[in-house]
Structure 1
Amino acid sequence: MPTDTSPPAGRDKAMLRTERLILRPARQADVATLFGFLGDAEAMKFTHVDSTLRDCRRRVMVHEWRRRHDGCAPWVVTAREEDRIVGWGGLYQDPFEPGWGFEVGYYFHPDVWGRGYASELVGAALRLADRKLVLAEVWAMAHPENPGSRRVLEKQGFRQVRYLPDRTRFLFRRPRDTGGD
């Protein structure tokens, strides 16, 4: 599945297009829509849930601030066919829990689960990690009761490293894909 990792002409260089998704930096105006699922305890039962709109705004905007330093942060994910925000995620260093290095994370509205968007997003994030940022490795975490998330990571070349009991998560690692270079 080809991905155009070059920015569209005259647009934000941090925007990417995949076969079915548009990945772009977050704006303040996106936060209320993102909170619709990032603040939903059932939708986020395997990960962090934002308890208030203010908490969500802070998390999203702090990540955006980090984009200038790291060259990456979670993108707002728009389904091209539907022209609506369906997720948030990508490659980042977590400013709220530093020390894990670069990781991928993905959070989607429940009505788009099972469509393969997470795999498409993670693939784009890994191409950024491998080709533009040239990272030696990328990390990810998945809850033991979320086999779909673990499958997404494994399909993208991540291997389980160990279980983290203090986080109730499996830790995954993927070394850089040099693509023969």
Structure 2
Amino acid sequence: MSRKTGPPPGTARLVFREMTDEDLDAIAGLLGDPDVMRYYPRPKDRSEARGWIEWNQDLYRREGFGLWVIALRETGEFVGDCGLTPQEVEGTVDVEVGYHVRADLQGHGYATEAAAACRDHARDVLGIARLIAIIHPDNVPSQRVAEKIGLSHERDTVYATGPARVYAAWLR
């Protein structure tokens, strides 16, 4: 059953929208960037970026949420993606907040701003009780984002891509 709600309303600096096929160049550039993907097994190629868009479009239909494109409110410039996805960790499915910001735009607080909006959307609109983030142990900047939006390190585990730290918070 779909809980179609659309993306969060946005923030002072960012807007959210669903990914479309027209985003392939931007998503391929983001997920193909070795700096952005340094904590993943490898950058994604164009075909995998297309699959990423299709996966999110399927999530929008099935769940009513997914990762959304984030763009600068003033100019519409592509910043990255951020949103909510169901993830299974050690046999339990939780909703994860995830985020990728272009390497040249990192360090400006966009990931924190977008992730906080997604956290609020998960709690206030979708009624999600628990939110997680699955983060590579060496990805300190992502861990800081999770902590800034109220998630705490819960445990270390092995995830599909290797070692991971699970950050979590009860939203209600």
Report the TM range for the smaller structure's normalisation.
Answer: 0.7 to 0.9
Aligned residues: percent identity?
28
Q: What is the aligned partner in structure 1 of residue 166 from structure 2?
A: 171
Q: 1:125 to 1:49 in 2, by over 3 A?
A: farther
* Runs (5+) with no aligned partner, structure 1: 1-11
SS at match of 2:94: coil
The answer to whether residue 80 in structure 2 is matched with residue 87 in structure 1 is yes
Q: Cα offset for 1:92?
A: 1.5
Matches for 1:27-66 after TM superposition, within 5 Å: 27-47=20-40, 49-66=42-59
Q: Cα offset for 1:155?
A: 1.1
Q: Cα offset for 1:52?
A: 1.8
Aligned amino acid, residue 172 of structure 1: Y
For residues 110-165 of structure 1, the C-alpha deviation after alignment (integer angstroms, 9 at most, x for no partner) is: 01101100111111111111111111101111222221111111111101111114
SS at match of 1:51: coil
Q: What is the aligned partner in structure 1 of residue 109 from structure 2?
A: 116
Q: What is the aligned partner in structure 2 of residue 151 from structure 1?
A: 144
Q: What is the aligned partner in structure 2 of residue 16 from structure 1?
A: 9
Q: Cα offset for 1:13?
A: 4.5
For residues 57-100 of structure 1, the C-alpha deviation after alignment (integer angstroms, 9 at most, x for no partner) is: 111212111112212110001012342111012111259xx954
1:103 and 1:115 map into 2 onto residues whose CA distance is 22
SS at match of 2:74: coil
Q: Are the counterparts in 2 of residues 100 and 139 from structure 1 also a CA contact under 8 Å?
A: no
Q: Are the counterparts in 2 of residues 101 and 138 from structure 1 also a CA contact under 8 Å?
A: yes
For residues 28-77 of structure 1, the C-alpha deviation after alignment (integer angstroms, 9 at most, x for no partner) is: 00011111121122321113655321111111212111112212110001
**When you count strand as a share of all residues, which structure comes out higher?**
2
* Runs (5+) with no aligned partner, structure 2: none
2:69 and 2:129 map into 1 onto residues whose CA distance is 25
Q: What is the alpha-carbon root mean square deviation over aligned residues?
A: 2.1
Matches for 1:134-149 after TM superposition, within 5 Å: 134-149=127-142
Q: Are the counterparts in 1 of residues 155 and 165 from structure 2 also a CA contact under 8 Å?
A: yes
Q: TM-score, normalised by structure 1?
A: 0.82
Aligned amino acid, residue 164 of structure 1: T
Q: Are the counterparts in 1 of residues 15 and 72 from structure 2 also a CA contact under 8 Å?
A: yes
Q: What is the number of residues matched between the two proteins?
A: 164
Q: Which runs of 4+ in 1 moved over 6 A?
A: none
Q: TM-score, normalised by structure 2?
A: 0.86
Deviates more, 1:146-155 or 1:49-58: 49-58
Aligned amino acid, residue 169 of structure 2: R
Answer 1 or 2: higher relative contact order, Cα 8 Å, separation at least 6. 2
1:120 and 1:37 map into 2 onto residues whose CA distance is 18
